[in-house]
Every structure is written in structure tokens, then in C-alpha cells.
Amino acid sequence: MKDKLIHKIHSKQAVIGIVGLGYVGLPLMLRFAEIGFDVLGFDIDYEKTAKLKSGLSYIKHIPDERINNSLDRLDVTNDYNRISEVDAIIICVPTPLNSHREPNLGFVIATIDAIVPQLRRGQIISLESTTYPGTTEEELLPRISLTNLKIGEDLFLVYSPEREDPGNTYFTTGSIPKVCGGITKHCLEVGIALYSAATVRVVPVSSTRTAEMTKLLENIHRAVNIGLVNELKIVADAMGIDIYEVIDAASTKPFGFTPYYPGPGLGGHCIPIDPFYLTWKARQYELNTRFIELAGEINTSMPDWVIGKVADALNEKGKSVNGSKILVLGLSYKKNIDDTRESPSIFIIDKLIKKGAKIDYSDPFIPVFPETRKLKLSLSSVELTSENLTSYDCIILATNHDMFDYDLIRRCAALIIDTRRVYRNKAENIYWA
């Protein structure tokens, strides 16, 4: 069965199933279709599947053209009974944290429970959702084993963490190496065949636990280093030192230093969330991940530090946060995308509203303020005209989209709080945060 499935993959006769068509699943589905595979996408969101069937994208950095060009090889559905039609099942569903910063595997478990009754011989199941080491063995394997299908002979189970970077035009789905770990040796062989067809390189590891830990290390590495530079930003600010000048100078060292840059906080689905998957799992082994948790505390405190800088700057102008009219530039967690997941801009807006500020926002990628679990606002993106800009007491540059006219903003704004260091030189109306 293993050799037969590998042959189907190599000959592109295999049908690829992608479960979860978000920021990870949609580009992966398009990648397989673009290289000649028939692909069946699954999502519980009827609006998403309806748009895809009409050739429309719901992710800004993925153009409609890519979907239209692939429609002859794409089909999308909300019906999990069709799982039996595919040879590869790649799961790309969210893995958020709950209110206690503990892993919420609800989407993963619900997906597995939905597909298990439809499984058949000759399929490979790959989990790509970020999670703690042991998830594939402890949660997926027992449920799949309830069937009469033997893992490694009839069915093949692997873990291969997603490495998507939304909006990155240099590294895309096909050009990013894929780590893959299998439950058995045969599982790994099928996993290598599957991802070798779509990516530049597959990096095999000894187990699914190793692959799961690899993903966490990648994101913890970034979270800890960003936490370090955020803390240094606060120290440098107190000392009257420009942290960006320091980073630029340190970056001239040709070895032993990698530049990381501070900001108003961490956003996205990975870096603010994934480290806590490991801290939770480590507690089961009676271990404390103090370094990781400290970095998390620093990073989550940055919106409050920014608000403190806003209050100080307004005070210098004889104003208070309460009653001030404030415009936040950029809702997404990073530049040139429409992804607001865990965006520090949202946290900043929420905190400013609670302090009595009158808030507007401007983001060319997000025309209407997205509803979150904690915040529901009836706001639309404000056009950046001279008249509009001059009407605000303060403008917070939270996300540095390329589409913003920074010269116009600088000329018209009474007060700018720059959290991304777009303006490298201070001016009377520019404050760094």
C-alpha cells in the first residue's frame, strides 16, 4: 500500500485534500493545484467555500487570479463525508489558546472526529497545525486507531508543521523547506513523497514529537529575541539612546549577531501563542519554562508601554488621553497584509477606549473593523487626507504599511507616536515608542 500511494503521488494521480482553508491551507491548496494535482478543499465556513467556487480570494495578499487559474483542478466543500475521495489529508486548522493561556485543540479534535469514519486504506494524514510535542501520538493516533486500519501499512500518519509567512513574497509555500516526522518509518516515507512534490526540500526527523518541537523552537526563538529587544528598547529609551541606531551598529558584526527589532507587541497566530504550548506541556513534566514565560510577559506588556508614551506625549501638549481624538494607523499585526490575529493594534485600541479616548483607525487592507472575542466596534477605515489628519490630537503609527503616505502624515499630524521607527529622525511632532 505504501509503494502504491507513493507512486500515485509521484505520478500526480493522487488527490490532495486540504482541511482548513485559512492563511495556511489556502496557499497550500493553490500550490498543489498549480503543480498539477487535483485538490479538494474542506472548510466549515460556507462563505469561504462560496467565494472560492466563484474564483474570489478572501485573503488580501492572495489575488483572485491565482484561484481562477487553478479552478479546473480545485473543488471545495463543507462536506467531510467526501474525505474518502482524497489520497492525502492535510489538516491546517487553528490551534488557539484558551482564556487561561492553555492549548485549545478543539478544532483539531473536531476535525479528526469528523474524518475518522470516512477513512480508507491508502491514505496519508498530515497535521500541520502548530501544537505541543506529543499531540499527533496522543490525540490523533488513538482516534485513528479506532478504525480497523493499521498505521504504517493501511494508513500513514505524519506531522509537518506549517511555515507560512503571510505577505512574504520572497519565501513562499513552494520555496520553504518542510520538516516532516512520521509515526512509523513507512509513514515518513509517504510524507517525504507528499511534500517533496510541492516544496523545494523535505527535512525528515526521527518522530512526530521532534517535528512538533521543531516548530515550537522556531517561534520561541523569535519570541524570546523580540522580548529581549523590546526590553532593551525600554532601557535605551530611559537612557536617551536610540535602540535602532544600536541595532544598526551591532548588525555590522559579521558573526554571532542576528538583528531583531522592537515593536508595539507581538501579533499573528504563531509567535504570541506557540511558546505557551510548550510551557503548558512542560508543566506535565514538572518543569518551569521561566525564560519563555518572561519573554511572553515582556511582549504582552508592550501595548501598555506604548499607551504610556501616548499619555506622556499628550501631557506635554496639555491634553489627556481621556477625551483625545486618536487615529491608529494599521490594524494588521504586520505590514502589507490583512491578518489581525493577536494584533497589538487591537489591544492598544481596546485599552485606549477604556481610558476614554475617541478612536478611529486607518488601514488600506482592512476596510471594516473586525469583530473579535473581546471587542466589537462599528468603525470603518479613515481615508488619510490632509483634512482628516489635522483633525486628530494624536496619531499612533502601529503598523507600517507601505501604502501610507508618511510625508503627508508627518506634515499634517499634530502628534505622531511612532512604534515602528518609520521616522528615523525626531521632530517636534514625532515621538518614538
Helix ranges restricted to H, 141-242:
141-144, 185-196, 208-238
Annotated catalytic residue within 92, 180, 270, 394: 270
Residue 104 identity (one-letter amino acid):
N
Q: Measured at the alpha carbon of residue 214, what is the angle toward residues 212 and 220, in degrees to the nearest 5? A: 105
Asked if 162 contacts 20 with a C-beta cutoff of 8 angstroms, the reply is no
Helix (H, G, I), strand (E, B) or coil at 250: helix
Helix (H, G, I), strand (E, B) or coil at 380: strand
Helix ranges restricted to H, 239-338:
243-250, 274-283, 290-316
| Residue 139, C-alpha cell as written in the block | 490525540
Q: Report d(CA 394, CA 163) in Å as an integer.
A: 37
Can you name the residues that pair with 17 across neighbouring β-strands? 40, 89
Q: Which residues fall within 8 angstroms of residue 348, CB to CB, at 6 or more apart? A: 264, 265, 303, 306, 307, 328, 396, 398
| Annotation marks residue 394 as catalytic | no
List Cα–Cα distances, 156 to 37, 117, 119, 181, in angstroms: 19, 16, 11, 11
Q: Report d(CA 97, CA 220) in Å as an integer.
A: 15
What b/e string do you get for 303-325 counting C-beta neighbours within 10 Å, with b at 16 or more? bebbbebbbebbeeeebebeebe
Q: Report d(CA 104, CA 392) in Å as an integer.
A: 40
In 3D space, the residue among 180, 176, 181 whose CA is nearest the CA of residue 201 turns out to be 176
Helix, strand, coil percentages for the chain (3-state, nearest 5): 40, 15, 45
Phi, psi of 88 (to 5 degrees): -120, 130
CB atoms within 10 A of CB 49: 19
List Cα–Cα distances, 217 to 1, 211, 284, in angstroms: 34, 10, 18
Residue 95 identity (one-letter amino acid):
T
Query: Would you name the residues annotated as active-site residues?
Result: 270
